[in-house]
Amino acid sequence: MQQIIIHVDMDAFFASVEMRDDPALRGKPLIIGSLPHERGVVATCSYEARKFGVHSAMNIKEAYRRCPHGIYMHPDFYKYKAVSDQLHEIWNTYASASQTIALDEAYLDVTETAKDWEGARRIAQTIKQRTWDELGLTCSVGLAYSKTAAKTASEEKKPNGYFEIPTAADFVSLIIDRDVRVLYTVGAKTSEKLHASGIHTVRDIQSHSENVIRLCGRHGRWLVQLAYGQDDRKVTPYRPEDAKSIGREVTFQQDVSDFAVLRDTLILLAFCVEHRAKRVGLQGKGVTLKLTYADMKQITRSHLIPQTDSAVTIYQETAKLLEKTAQRPVRLIGAGLYQLTGEAEERQLSFDDLLRDELSSEEDARRQLLSELQERYGLDFAGNLEKIYHYEILHKTVEYMRKHRRRPAEPAGQ
C-alpha cells in the first residue's frame, strides 16, 4: 500500500503566538530574536516583516536596517514549548506514527488511520480546523505520497495553506523547472556547487545525473532520486536518545577578554545543559566547548569523560578545555554533552567511593559553585536557578555578570 503522509508546518510560529496573545501586534512587522541594539539574529518574524526582506537567521542589525519601524521582541521559549505540546497532541491523534521535526513542524503517517486518499484529505482539513479552533493559530498542511513531497506541498500555499501531491509524477511536474534549492537537503553550499557546474534546475539534475553524482557523491545519488520523485523514507518517531548532542550557548553583547567571566559563564551553561539532559533522561560520554572569537573565528574543543549528566562535571571539564584555548576576546561561548545514552552506566565502586558519600559530595560541589557566583556578583543563584534555564533571563544574567564581576576580597592586613 502506498504511503500517505501529512506534513504540518505552523505559520511564523513564534510571531503568531505573540500576536495571538497580544492582538495589538497583529498586522505589524514583528521580529522575534535579539533586539536591534544587541548582537544576534532573527529567530522568526511575521509575514508583514518578511515583506521588507527580513527572514530567519538574518543578522539583527541587517533586519533593523531593512525594517527600522518593526517591533522587536525576545523569544519566550517556555511559552512556545507549551503551545507546541498542545499542537502535537492534536496532530498525533490522527497518525499511526509521528515524527517531530521542530516545535512547530511534524510528519504524520496517516496510511492506516486514513485508509485512503479521501480519508487523508479529511484528516488534513480537520487538523487545520482544530489548530485554529483550539489554539487560535494557523498552519500550512501538505498531503502527499512521500515525506519530501509532503514538505514541498506544505510550503506551496503558505501561509494558512493546503496542497496535495498524490504521485511522484505530480511531484516532478510541479518542481521540474524550479531551482535545485527546492529539493530536500540542498542548501547554500550544495546549490552553489551545482550552479557552478551549470546545474540550476531539477530538470538539469535529471539531464546531468552522472555529473551530480560525481560532484556530490552519495548525496548526489540521493538528489537524483529526489529529482525523479523517489523517496520511500518512513515516518520515524523522534526519540531523545537519537540526539547527537545537548548544548547551550550565549553571545555576549560586547567581546569578553576576562577569562574569569568566561569560566563563570560556563557554570551557568553547565547547569542549563544538565537541566536539558535530565529532562529527556540522557547522559553524555563527552563534553564540548565552543568559542567564537571577536574576529568570528570559531573553535570547538572536546574530550571523552566518564558518563555523566552532572553540571559540576560539565563545568569542570569545559573549564579545563577553556584553559587550553587562546586567550583572545570572545564573542560567544557554549558548553555541551555528546555521545548521548539513556542507559545508566554501571561501574564497580572503588575503595575511595566507599569512604565518601558521593551524592553529598556532588551536592556540596553544586552549592560551592553557586555560592562563589553569589559572592562575585551578588546574585542569589541558588534560590533562582530555575529561572536561568529561560533563554532571556540567562542572557540578561550573563550580561550582568560581564559588567559587574567583583574581585575577590584581599585578606585583612594586606
Helix axis angle, 259-280 to 358-377, nearest 10°: 140
The one catalytic residue in 105, 164, 274, 317 is 105
Structure-block grid coordinates of residue 401: 555578570
SS (H, E, C) the chain: CCCCEEEEEECCHHHHHHHHHCHHHCCCCEEEECCCCCCCEEEEECHHHHCCCCCCCCEHHHHHHHCCCCEEECCCHHHHHHHHHHHHHHHHCCCCEEEEEECCEEEEECHHHHCCHHHHHHHHHHHHHHHHHHHCCCEEEEEECCHHHHHHHHHHCCCCCEEEECCHHHHHHHHCCCEHHHCCCCCHHHHHHHHHCCCCEHHHHHHCHHHHHHHHHHHHHHHHHHHCCCCCCCCCCCCHHHCCEEEEEEEEEEEECCHHHHHHHHHHHHHHHHHHHHHHCCEEEEEEEEEEECCCCEEEEEEEEEEECCHHHHHHHHHHHHHCCCCCCEEEEEEEEEEEECCCCCCCCCHHHHCCCHHHHHHHHHHHHHHHHHHHHCCCCCCCHHHHCCHHHHHHHHHHHHHHCCCCCCCCCC
Distances (CA, A) of 368 to 362, 378, 384: 10, 15, 15
**Residue 105 bears catalytic tag:** yes
Structure-block grid coordinates of residue 126: 480537520
Phi and psi angles of residue 42, each rounded to the nearest 5 degrees, phi first: -80, 125
> How many other C-beta atoms lie within 10 A of the C-beta of residue 28?
16
Whether the Cβ atoms of residue 200 and residue 192 lie closer than 8 Å to each other: no
Listed residue (164, 118, 119) closest to 141, CA to CA: 164
Instruction: Count Cβ neighbours within 10 Å for each residue of 203-221 and write b for 16 or more, e otherwise.
Output: bbbeebbebbbebbeeebe
Q: Which residues are catalytic?
A: 105
